[in-house]
Amino acid sequence: MKSRSFIDTVILHTYAGNGGNGSASFRREKFVPRGGPDGGDGGHGGSVILRADKDVTSLIHIFFSPHQRAEHAGPGLGKQQHGRNGKDCIVKVPCGTEVRDIETKELLVDIVEHGSEFVAASGGKGGLGNVHWKSSTNQAPQEHTEGKRGENADFRLILKLIADIGLVGFPNAGKSSLLRKLSDAHPKVASYPFTTLNPIVGTMKFEDFTSLTVADIPGLIKGAHEGVGLGHAFLRHIERAFALTFVIDMAGVDGRDPWVDFANLREELTLHDQSLAERPFIVVANKMDLEAARENISRFKEETGTQPLEISAETGEGLPPLRRAIYDLGTPLRKPAAPWTPELPSR
């Protein structure tokens, strides 16, 4: 039974509309003797078009309706009337959706910008009416052509969330609690591992009216890049993040050493995508309201060579400096860039 609420990969089957047949009719009106050919052209079939929409956050609607069909066109009519064009089938997808060939897995297009479109299956062209064959030597042509069949194509859609900052950390590190305090997101919070079962994106708003999007990537544990835990399913969502924020359980509530957690997280991200090792990052030492965290912080700094920001997502301690650090981390994202819209290929 299909009952999931977040879907980030689906198979899409597309069926474009067929073109309408051309007409082979002749003009027949009172007081018009020997009326000539007047067959109109058939209409063009509708296409299946993927359109990026910033208000769509999951591929769940395609998961439940994987077969998308455009409308067939109408045939041409007498009096040189053009057949009705088929209606396009617009399939809205989240910004950040990759479209891949289902067999070769080749990336066909990466739909990132809101409003960008990709023609997944083109509608068939309409056939020609017999009026096109009219000539002085062929005054009663019977020739006409049938409409072309629309394309049928299958794709694999893969969603990679678009976020400025990625929150990474082991289960129970407090990422969800932190995201609730920093942004407008409301992820589920509980005192057991793997509470968050899908990526959550929140928006941080600042005093200068700028904002940054922050994504909580769930389920990262050692071996995630090989499919251990939930991390293998969601590691791809970190790929687009401009910068990373490592959230470390400094108290070691689950019996792990914080400095080992940090090393393992860095290793997992690097093994998944080497470029992640080069992203700017900050380290957050969470749960500093607990005594064990205060005992571990010195060794963490010594083992990792970092100066983490000390906070408590539970009490709110240290959050203002963290907000400022995230603001500074995302400063390059607020620089104006020259507008440029890539032309997406059509199938």
316 domain residue, yes or no:
yes
pLDDT tens-digit map of 117-136: 999 999 999 999 988 988 88
Q: What is the pTM of this model?
A: 0.75
Residue among 323, 322, 296 nearest 311 (CA): 322
Q: Are 16 and 121 in contact (CB under 8 A)?
A: yes
340 domain residue, yes or no:
no
> Which of the two residues, 163 and 302, has the higher pLDDT score?
302
DSSP string, 242-281: SEEEEEEETT-TTS--HHHHHHHHHHHHHHH-GGGGGS-E
- Please state, in angstroms and as integers, the Cα–Cα distance from residue 128 to each residue in 21, 75, 132, 164, following that order: 7, 10, 7, 52
255 domain residue, yes or no:
yes
The span from the CA of 248 to the CA of 267, in Å, is 15
Residue 173 identity (one-letter amino acid):
A
Residue among 85, 96, 79 nearest 20 (CA): 85
| Sign of the CA dihedral with 169 first, then 174, 177, and 182 last | negative
Are 65 and 214 contained in the same domain? Answer: no
Domain boundary among 159, 186, 206: 159
Q: Are 118 and 48 in contact (CB under 8 A)?
A: no
Q: Both tokens of residue 180?
A: 């609730």
339 domain residue, yes or no:
no
Supply the CATH number for residue 36's domain: 2.70.210.12
Q: Kindly indicate the confidence band of residue 7, based on its pLDDT and cuts at 50, 70 and 90.
A: confident
4 domain residue, yes or no:
no
1 domain residue, yes or no:
no
Which percentage of the chain shows pLDDT scores above 70? 84
Are 313 and 173 contained in the same domain? Answer: yes
The span from the CA of 115 to the CA of 120, in Å, is 15
When the pLDDT of each residue in the chain is averaged and rounded to a whole number, the result is 84
3 domain residue, yes or no:
no
DSSP-derived secondary structure letter, 234 = H
Q: Which domain holds residue 191?
A: 165-333
Provide mean pLDDT across the span 305-315. 93
Which percentage of the chain shows pLDDT scores above 90? 49
pLDDT tens-digit map of 100-114: 999 999 999 999 999
Q: What is the structure's pLDDT at 217?
A: 81
The span from the CA of 147 to the CA of 23, in Å, is 10
Q: Both tokens of residue 97?
A: 């959706």
Query: In the sheet that 67-69 helps form, which strands lie side by side, from edge to edge?
Result: 67-69, 9-15, 152-159, 97-101, 107-111
Domain boundary among 132, 159, 186: 159
Q: Are 74 and 84 in contact (CB under 8 A)?
A: yes
Are 13 and 32 contained in the same domain? Answer: yes
Q: Are 215 and 237 in contact (CB under 8 A)?
A: yes
pLDDT tens-digit map of 214-270: 888 876 655 444 444 445 566 788 888 899 999 999 998 778 899 999 999 998 888
The span from the CA of 126 to the CA of 131, in Å, is 14
